[in-house]
Amino acid sequence: MHSAVLFRGQSLSDAEQISLTIQVSTFEDKMPQTPPFTGVFPNSAYNKNLYQTKEEHYGGLYYHDNTLVSGSLEALIQHLVPTVDHYPDRTYIFTFLLSSRLFIHPCELMSKICHLCVDHQRLSDPQADKMRLRKMAPKVLQLLTEWTETFPYDFRDERTMRSLKELTQRLASGDEHYRKAVQQMTQALIRKLTALSQYEEALAKISATATERLAVLKVKPQSVQRDILSICSDPFTLAQQLTHIELERLSYIGPEEFVQAFGQKSQLDNDKNCFSDHKKASNLEAYVAWFNRLSYLVATEICMAVKKKHRARVIEFFIDVARECFNIGNFNSLMAIISGMNMSPVSRLKKTWGKVKTAKFDILEHQMDPSSNFYNYRTALRGATQRSITAHSSREKIVIPFFSLMIKDIYFLNEGCSNRHPNGHVNFEKFWEMAKQVSELMTWKKVECPFERDRKILQYLLTAPVFSEDALCLASYESEGPENNMEKDRWKSLRSSLLNRV
């Protein structure tokens, strides 16, 4: 199912393009204190003229103005591994783990890290200096903790998990303090992976229920079907429940999915597909599918209403819901609702729209206007982000971005800059910028939804029957007859097709 966001008389081609693209800690007191992600990434954008200036070179790593800009893969991996005198900055750990999968599978990276820790740092030597081990073990465990907390889905691969167990067993042997830390880290990882499996099972059940309800709709008269106003007549309550769904689905997206969705192949790595053996971006795709579902649900609710007065009331209700979503900071639901109301089967209902007070809708459309690369929306997003940073309550911390646009930004960053330089070194400056964008989402997706859940409303939003594009068109023509020859031909074709199915 594919939805395009249409502003009256204007096509949002970026959103269409992106939908197509989608289809295609125990030792903290002993560790160096690292700043939070947001705001600490290098600010410089990708600059093709960078290499005309003098650079500093340290063991295969190249710096410009004290910022790491490139390096060989081996040197970058070595920089990730702690030593007695070195622990990588937290932003480097996140950026490298995010981008490294373009060049090396996580299980291979974990194996290399094990080798560097055990052999190079002589952790396998039974006669190794106990003081050295005491200095090394907390640092290695901290690195592994950051990896398992931020990229837990890497450990769904048995090979990655096996290497993790081998390394942690070495670190924990003979020291009860380290053994407890390893146990805590492992238990937290297993909880996250278990929650992911349960989430995937829940999505499958929701999808099956929605399919069953759609089948029932096809054989029952529309008049006996419930509509959104019979389930919830308060726009603020519905906006709250939409926010519940958004935050839950957002929370299960792994940061690595943004890289894996667009960069399964590295041109200078023999076109080796690092992720042919497991799901690449299933949670990201499920979130995009939710956006499409909500758009079609809005259009369905409007088109299935038999009386013009009721259709107008449903439209005004969704306008109010969209406004409440904007106030909450839920821009994804806001855009999905606008998308649904601007689908052709809805926008053509001129008699219905004639009864709608559209002033509030015009304001919302202005806020989400795609012109100037969504300048108005990006300004509103910055405002919501600032509010979130200074928030005193969970309610004020909510920031749910227009997701397809965020994906588009990352996609074009990925397409616009090469992963490697001509000398084979990894273009790390590109990945600083990518990590900066993804890290914002990492902050937003951790927000706990402060609103009370309403199971009845949530169930309706997730499983209510949604019309196909053809069914929407047919319902629209039956509500307000075709106005020109093209619409008449379309109506006849749809009715004929429906009769043939029967």
DSSP string for 180-210: HHHHHHHHHHHHHHHHHHHHHHHHHHHHHHH
The confidence score (pLDDT) of residue 123 equals 59
Contacts of 127 (CB under 8 A, 6+ apart): none
Place of tokens 């954008």: 45
Instruction: List the one residue out of 173, 333, 146 whose CA is nearest residue 242.
Output: 333
Distance CA 14, CA 4 (A): 9
List, for residues 335-378, the tens digit of each pLDDT value.
999 999 999 999 999 999 999 999 999 999 999 999 999 999 99
Q: Which helix (H) or strand (E) is 426 found in, with range? A: strand 426-427
CA quadruple 167, 170, 173, 175: dihedral positive or negative?
negative
- Asked if 313 contacts 356 with a C-beta cutoff of 8 angstroms, the reply is no
Distance CA 502, CA 493 (A): 14
Pairing of strands 10-11, 56-58: unpaired
Contacts of 21 (CB under 8 A, 6+ apart): 262, 407, 408, 411
Q: CA 145: distance to chain centroid?
A: 22
Pairing of strands 67-71, 10-11: unpaired
The confidence score (pLDDT) of residue 219 equals 64
CA dihedral 272, 277, 280, 283 (to 10 degrees): 180
Q: By three-state DSSP, how is residue 277 classified?
A: coil
Which residues of the chain carry a pLDDT beneath 50? Answer: 1-39, 44-55, 223-224, 265-278, 502
The confidence score (pLDDT) of residue 56 equals 53
The confidence score (pLDDT) of residue 500 equals 61
Instruction: List the one residue out of 393, 379, 246, 441 whose CA is nearest residue 325.
Output: 246
- Asked if 113 contacts 96 with a C-beta cutoff of 8 angstroms, the reply is no
Q: Which amino acid is at 351?
A: K
Contacts of 324 (CB under 8 A, 6+ apart): 235, 236, 238, 239, 240
Q: How far is CA 222 from CA 208, 211, 465, 474, in A?
A: 21, 16, 11, 13
The confidence score (pLDDT) of residue 30 equals 39
Taking residue 8's Cβ as centre, other Cβ atoms within 10 Å add up to 12
Instruction: List the one residue out of 333, 331, 316 whose CA is nearest residue 241.
Output: 333
The confidence score (pLDDT) of residue 170 equals 82
List, for residues 78-128, the tens digit of each pLDDT value.
999 998 888 999 999 999 999 999 999 999 999 999 988 877 656 555 555
Token pair of 497, please? Answer: 């097709």
Contacts of 29 (CB under 8 A, 6+ apart): none
Taking residue 230's Cβ as centre, other Cβ atoms within 10 Å add up to 9
The confidence score (pLDDT) of residue 276 equals 43
State the number of CA atoms in the 13 A half-sphere of 388 facing the CB.
24
Instruction: List the one residue out of 358, 314, 342, 345 whose CA is nearest residue 467.
Output: 345
Token pair of 349, please? Answer: 């209902």
The confidence score (pLDDT) of residue 10 equals 46
Q: How many degrees, rounded to 5, is the angle at CA 470 between CA 466 and CA 473?
A: 95
Place of tokens 């097709």: 497
Q: By three-state DSSP, how is residue 148 classified?
A: helix
Q: What is the DSSP letter of 83?
A: -
The confidence score (pLDDT) of residue 41 equals 60
- Asked if 330 contacts 294 with a C-beta cutoff of 8 angstroms, the reply is no
Instruction: List the one residue out of 145, 86, 92 whose CA is nearest residue 116.
Output: 86
The confidence score (pLDDT) of residue 8 equals 45
Taking residue 221's Cβ as centre, other Cβ atoms within 10 Å add up to 7
